[in-house]
Amino acid sequence: MLLAAALTRLDIARGADAHLHDFITEALPARSAPKGITVVDIDEHSLQELGPWPWPRSVIAELVQQLRAQGAELQIWDMFFAHEGIADRQLAQALLAQPDVVIGTVPVLDAQVEHPPHEGLLPTATDAPEHCSQHAPVRGYFGTAAPFVGVRLGHLAATPDADGRLRRVPAVVCLPADSAAQQAGSSQIKLPQLTLAAAAAYHPQKPWVLHRTTWPWQPAQWLERGDWRFALDGEGHLTIPYQRPHSQWRALSASSLLQGQAVGALQGQVVLIGATALGAGDIISTPYHPSAPGVSVHAELLAAASTARGWPGYAVQAPAIVAALVLLLCAPALLPLRRASTQWWLWLPASLALLGPLAWALLGRISLGGQFPIAAPTLALLGQIVGLLGLQLAWQWRQSQLLASQLQSFLPPGLAQQIATQVPSGHSLGQSHSGLLAGLRIDGLARWVGQVDSLQALALTHALQTSAQQAASEHGGALQYVQGDTLYLSWPDASALTTARALAALQALQRQLDPILGTNATASAPLLLYAALESGSYLLGLVGTAQAKRSVLLGPLAQKVTAILDLSPELDSPILLGPQAAAQLQPQDSTQLQSLGQFLLEGQTSACQIFRAKV
């Protein structure tokens, strides 16, 4: 978790999260634009009708008056007026006639600008929040011409990331005040972002309220003005909540508005006025388009702030803590790797399947709420997987060396080393088991196979193994090993219930296979099914080279079951039980057994009692 927290500070992890957020934003369905916001486009058609940009101030004044006449509730101008010009008085009268207009100003924050401008005046905003974002020093500006001082100002500073995409902007740009402002009692000039200035104009009687949040997955703070709400990150920036391409905004052409073709279309609307014509040069890179109109940024900010949908895609205030929590949720998937016997090539797909829903839930959260750090916990998780796999391989190598040293006591060193390196787990040559072991033998099968068609022999052999596997599985066991005409079934323990189930499986197989064997048998090659059941310990292993391995079944129990099977034809008993298996049965189940007496089995030093089971 500490590694995941530390990785969140790397630029590569932050960049990966940003690109992932862009991808999810573009992949999800775009949201519809709010009905109360309209964009007035200074588009290609407007430039053809009214001439190239910039337009005369008299035309802009007429547009301000026309917007007001059409019922626009608030005008937000995504442009600045830094130079004085002809008809400034007419435009100033239009802008200052009512407090329903916000215009832009451009502080220059880019250190690569060699000769930063200082055009116009840069008065502090009349109603700015008591807050300053962390940003590069202001090196210059395009302010506002003297006739327009008094109009609400909002900054238009763009701070794109290294890849050129604009993902956040400073909420409030602050710079030292000049001597005149200092004499007026202000030590700083504060310029709120254009949409913050719009919030102050929309709620002139409401104060700014700054709320700090509690949980690490929330934004660092919320800045509120009336019912407008802005999510700020730890540096006081606004994360731009892209939710739709620019074409989805309700838009009117500026020329059609001036020609009186939009009567009643702006009643009660908040209007954004911006240049979308390519010649205007106001373009930005968004997840939807590499060269979208700059007014898209302010439209998205305005929509997120003024509606009750929250703030999609805000930056969480404690990405390191969130990354650690994300990794903590994923940590249980690493538990199988703690066992040295785990085969990672089998475990990894299963782990990815388990982590898939969690990953997609987090990705969905990126677009619906906070930008959760994904790259850092992913890199940390991969690092832990590689580390655990390395430890597992080292442990297996060590066990392989120990096994080789043990084998060298009775095998040549070269052969011992070869065998040790071929063992999959590096732990042992096989795995010991304890429980019930049943042997099924088809007496006469080898002779019968030599007399019938190969396809018939293969089909019957397949049917016998399939039936044995199915019957064992239905009664809690498994087909463990096949050797010639003998099949071995196993059960994991030797309890009374398991023994009863194993006996029931053998009885079911007798009833199922006897008719099949009788149909396929010939006069010279009869087929008879015999079964034996006993409990104890046995060993399962793999022998051979890495290219050709085969399973083996060894141990005292395997020998005992084979010896009991050898007695079955002599005793004419389809199912025989050893003494330990018979002793495990409950009294009600033992009524199915008949004692046949004491027998000395092959390879045994003392006689044991054998029981016949009813079929």
Q: Contact at 8 Å (CB) between 474 and 507?
A: no
Cis preceding-peptide flag for 54 (omega within 30 of 0) = yes
Domain boundary among 252, 285, 306: 306
DSSP labels, 547-611: TEEEEEEESHHHHHHHHHHHHHHHHT-SEEE-HHHHHHS-HHHHTTEEEEEEE--TT-SS-EEEE
Q: How far is CA 488 from CA 87, 269, 480, in A?
A: 102, 82, 6
**462 and 380 in a common domain:** no
Residues in the chain: 615
Quick one: tokens of 16?
A: 């990966």
**Total domains present in the chain:** 3
pLDDT for 346 equals 46
Domain boundary among 428, 458, 484: 428
3-state secondary structure of 334: helix
Residue 129 lies in a domain: yes
pLDDT for 181 equals 45
| pLDDT digit string, tens, across residues 379-427 | 666 666 677 667 777 777 777 777 677 767 777 777 767 666 666 554 4
3-state secondary structure of 546: coil
pLDDT for 341 equals 46
Quick one: tokens of 310?
A: 């929250």
What angle in degrees, to the nearest 10, is found between the helix axes of 375-407 and 413-422?
A: 150
3-state secondary structure of 436: strand
Percent of residues in the chain assigned helix, strand, coil, to nearest 5: 40, 25, 35
3-state secondary structure of 101: strand
Residue 343 lies in a domain: yes
pLDDT for 119 equals 92
Which residue, chain included where needed, has tokens 């389809």? 574
* CATH number of the domain enclosing 531: 3.30.70.1230
For 232, phi then psi, to 5°, come to -110, 145
Residue 211 lies in a domain: no
**78 and 193 in a common domain:** yes
**176 and 258 in a common domain:** yes
**154 and 116 in a common domain:** yes
**460 and 414 in a common domain:** no
Residue type at position 60: I
**61 and 104 in a common domain:** yes
Residue 80 lies in a domain: yes
**80 and 18 in a common domain:** no
3-state secondary structure of 537: strand
- Give every residue of the chain whose pLDDT is below 70, as ranges: 1-10, 178-186, 278-281, 308-309, 318-370, 372, 375-377, 379-385, 388-389, 403, 407, 416, 418-430, 544-548
Residue type at position 506: L
Residue type at position 530: Y
Strand partners of residue 221: 212, 232
Quick one: tokens of 613?
A: 């089971």
**197 and 58 in a common domain:** yes
Cis preceding-peptide flag for 99 (omega within 30 of 0) = no
Which residue, chain included where needed, has tokens 């027998």? 599
**137 and 191 in a common domain:** yes
**511 and 402 in a common domain:** no
pLDDT for 488 equals 94
Contacts of 35 (CB under 8 A, 6+ apart): 250
Residue 255 lies in a domain: yes
Residue 284 lies in a domain: yes
Q: Could you give the CA distance from residue 525 to residue 589 in angstroms, rounded to a whole number?
A: 35
**9 and 100 in a common domain:** no
Q: Contact at 8 Å (CB) between 257 and 40?
A: yes
Strand partners of residue 599: 608
3-state secondary structure labels for all residues of 365-434: HHHHCCECCCHHHHHHHHHHHHHHHHHHHHHHHHHHHHHHHHHCCCCCHHHHHHHHHHCCCCCCCEEEEE
R_g over Cα of the chain: 41
For residue 337, the enclosing domain spans 1-24+318-428
Torsion region of 313: left, alpha or beta (phi above 0 gives left; psi -120 to 50 gives alpha): left
Residue 37 lies in a domain: no
Residue 454: other Cβ atoms inside 10 A: 8
Residue 222 lies in a domain: no
**382 and 282 in a common domain:** no
